[in-house]
Every structure is written in C-alpha cells, then in structure tokens.
A and B are shown apart, each in its own frame.
Chain A
Amino acid sequence: MLRLRRVTRVHGYGAAEVHALRGVDLDVAMGELVAVMGPSGSGKSTLLHLAGGLDTPTAGTVHVGRDDVGALDAKGRARLRRRHVGYVFQDLNLVPALTALENVMLPLELDGLSARRARSQATAALAEVGTDDLADRFPDDMSGGQAQRVAIARALVGPRRLVLADEPTGALDSVTGEAVMRVLRARVDAGAAGLLVTHDARHAAWADRIVFLRDGLVVDSTGADPGPDHLLSGAVRA
C-alpha cells in the first residue's frame, strides 16, 4: 500500500544542507501498522510527510497504492490526501464554531459529498471512536480527550486507505491514549495501512513492526514475528 524506495530528502542548500533521510526503503501493507521510532532529528516526521504527500523526496520514489506521489502535481497530491490519507496529528484543531458532527463532516463536504452522505459517514466515524454522544457539542464544551477523539474521527472519516499518525496520543492520559491506539489498530485491522511515529514504546508496541531511524537511516527493525506463542514459556494458555 505504501512503498518508499531509496528515499532521500535534503532540506536547505550548501553549508546549511541537512540530509533528513538518506536512501530509506519502507513498505507498509494493507492491514499492517508500522511504528517508526528514533531520536529527535532522525527523520521520523519527514518520513511521515513524504508518505502522506505533504512533501516530495529529493531522490527516490514514494508510492501510495498505484500513485507515484512524486509524479503527481500539487492538485493530484491534494486529492490523494483528501480521499485516501487520514492524518492523526498531535494538534488537530477543531473548528470552534462547528459541532463535533459538523467538524467531522467538513472534509467530506469539501470533497463534494452530499450533506446526507457526509452526515451518515461522519456519524459512523464518531461512533468508531466512541464519541457519538458528543455529535451536537461544540469543541469548547469538550474535555481534551474528547476533542482529540473527535479530531481522530475527522482524520479517519470515509474510506481512508492509509492512516498516518504523528504522536497521536499527545498529552492524553494513559487510558485515553490507549483508547486512541485501539481506534487506530481497529482501522488498520479493517484493512487500512498505518504508519505511526512515536517516541513512546507503549504505543509503538501496538504496531506489527517497529522501525528505528537514526540520522536519516533505518538502523534496525523488529520482524513481524514471532508472536505471543514464543513468548510465554508456560504455554498454559492456548
């Protein structure tokens, strides 16, 4: 679903040149959640921006499905982002003048969907994150955790094939953070491809694979197996 080949991204010129990524290969299949970990400045966020068509590589290719992101023009990339890519960022600002439901409907309406269909998809997305009872509330009347979940519903609304998350649990408490990870995981289990950038080992642990970046290079990764069967020597539990 997502495929990066020998992706290099250089910011700046001459003496100020910074190699954010140096020839990175990465694949994320449908139904797979991959976590990216690494110290600040290792290239994690650049990787995520490239995967979502917010940025284009200096060298190498990024494919989302069949689309070569580097070959699309700005309009094509915008369409790709609007229709197929869901972003879950730490600061997802809701529009204060709109209710939770209207906030979630917004990207669908911008994409030309009828109000009726937008409403039903938005209602489903709110239910997916367990906030359907907040549909008519305004952002100011929600707790931080509630607003974050509504923002996630907005990011995931509609049939997104690729979900990108950058520290999605932000400043949430651990129970709410776990609820956010459950939503992401459920969406991936339902068939989307997921890429998660985090410094939090507990959240990375929800992924099928964990990739480590350092100085713009992939330095290590966990395989997708072995599974739990190998883990507990007791083997009492089937």
Chain B
Amino acid sequence: MSIRQGILALLTERPMHGYQLRQEFEARTGGTWPLNIGQAYTTLQRLQRDGLVEPVPDDDANAPERFRLTAAGAAEASAWWTRPVERTAPARDELAIKLALAVTVPGVDVVAVVQRQRTETLRALRDYTRLKRDAAPEGPELAWSLVLDSLIFAAEAEVRWLDHVESAVARAAVARATTRRPAAGAAQASGDPTAVGHGAAGTGEGGAR
C-alpha cells in the first residue's frame, strides 16, 4: 500500500514517468525500501485502471510516458496525509512469533535465543547510528535522517522488549521452582539450578513466597 500511496504523493509535485518515480521514492527514503522498476510500472498501471492517474496528453512521443494525477488521484493523495496509518492488525513479526514459541516449546534455551537476537539487533542499531552520525538533520538529508531515526527507535524498542522477555522468563522460572518445592524456603533459592542465569532484572524477587 505504501508504494501506491507514495507514488500518488510524489505525483502531486509534477508529472513523472516510472523511472523518475522510482528514483524520487528511493532518494526520499534513503534507499531503505528499494522500489524496482517493474513495481513502479505495475503500480502506475493499477492506478490508471482505478482512475487515479492518467498519461500526460500531448507529451513528447519519443520520451517515456509520463503520468499525472486525476482529480480523484489528487483527492486520494491529500486524504492519505490526514488518514492515520492503520495499526489495528499487527504486522506478522517473525521475532515475536519465534519467542512466543520459544517460551512454550519444551527444551528451548530462551535466554540464548534472546541473547543471540539482542546481539544482532544491537549490531543493526550500531550501524544505523553510524549512518545517522553522518546524516545532516536539515536540508535535503532531513528525510533520510528521519527514516534512520525510525529504524533506530524500532531497534531500540526491540532491545527493550528482549530485556523484558528475559526478565519475565527468569521470573517465571523462579516462580515455578518455588511452587514445585513449597517447603524449600528462600535459603535454597541461590543454589537452585533452574534459577541460573536469572541475573537479569530478576534479582530480588526470589523467596518472595
């Protein structure tokens, strides 16, 4: 959907042909979401079919065909800015699914899964940060810099969520161990093998019951 809307938004500036649209789309978003030329033309065809764009009449016959917005297309483009992006149906997130399964499938070392992912996400975060350092937060680089911010915030949120998963899992392990041996008491908690690796944020809750 974002390609379709993106193309309509770009066409509010001036008529363009497919290749120009592709270039502009990638330049504005820093090439983060590459748009291949086939996608650009297929999308233009669909937009034309839906009556939102039309070829520029009396254009140079030897040049690539340029498209402009119809009245309906212009209305759709301006409606896009005021309509919030829908957040009701969560995007399918492999990591969330993986961890939901990891905590339920027996025998999975959740702490190791979390740590492996944290390293990977932090590496991405570091690399985005490097790019961000060189992107000027004004002028033509502003759009690119903000796209990077979006990626940085998302990666940061993912790391925070991973930390949360880790301590929640540690907490659950402690609770399980306590229910299994209700008479064992708090003194034993530190020697409990299931509590190993609960150093996360989980210190202090052992022996609560």
Chain A: residues with CB nearer than 8 A to chain B? Answer: 37, 39-42, 182, 185, 201-202, 204-208, 210, 212, 214-215, 219-223, 226-228, 230-237
Contacts and interface: CB of A to CB of B under 8 A. Distances in A.
B64 interface: no
B134 to A, nearest CB: 9
Chain B interface helix/strand/loop/mixed? helix
Interface string B118-139: 1100111111111101000000
Contact of B31 (A39, A223, A227, A236): A236
Contacts of A219: 115
A205 B31 contact: no
Given A201-B155, A202-B152, A41 B199 contact: yes
Contact of B119 (A221, A227, A228, A231): A221
Given A202-B156, A228-B130, A39 B201 contact: yes
A133 to B, nearest CB: 22
Contacts of A221: 119
Nearest to B115: A220
Contact of B30 (A182, A207, A210, A236): A236
Given A201-B155, A219-B115, A234 B33 contact: yes
Chain A interface helix/strand/loop/mixed? loop
A231 B124 CA distance: 7
Which bracket fits the contact residues of B?
Answer: 20 to 34
A90 to B, nearest CB: 19
Contacts of B199: 39, 41-42, 214-215
Q: Which of B27, B116, B127, B131 has the most CB of A within 10 A?
A: B127
B126 A210 contact: yes
A230 B30 CA distance: 14
Given A41-B199, A202-B156, A234-B34, 13 more contacts: A40-B201, A41-B203, A182-B133, A202-B125, A210-B123, A212-B115, A227-B127, A228-B131, A232-B30, A232-B32, A234-B26, A234-B31, A235-B34
A214 B116 CA distance: 14
B159 A233 contact: no
Contacts of A227: 127, 130
Interface of B: 26-27, 30-34, 115-116, 118-119, 122-131, 133, 144, 152, 155-156, 159-160, 197, 199-201, 203
Contacts of B131: 228, 231-232
Contacts of A232: 30-32, 131
A205 B129 contact: yes
B129 A210 contact: no
B196 to A, nearest CB: 8
Q: Which of A185, A230, A236, A237 has the most CB of B within 10 A?
A: A236
Contacts of A235: 31, 34
Nearest to A237: B31
A233 B36 CA distance: 12
Contacts of B126: 204-208, 210, 222
Contact of A234 (B30, B129, B159): B30
A215 B201 contact: no
B115 A228 contact: no
27 contacts: A39-B200, A39-B203, A41-B199, A185-B133, A201-B155, A204-B122, A204-B126, A205-B122, A205-B126, A208-B126, A210-B122, A210-B123, A210-B126, A212-B119, A214-B197, A219-B115, A221-B119, A223-B123, A226-B127, A227-B127, A228-B127, A228-B131, A231-B127, A234-B30, A235-B31, A236-B27, A237-B31
Contact of A231 (B115, B128, B144, B156): B128
Contact of B122 (A201, A228, A237): A201
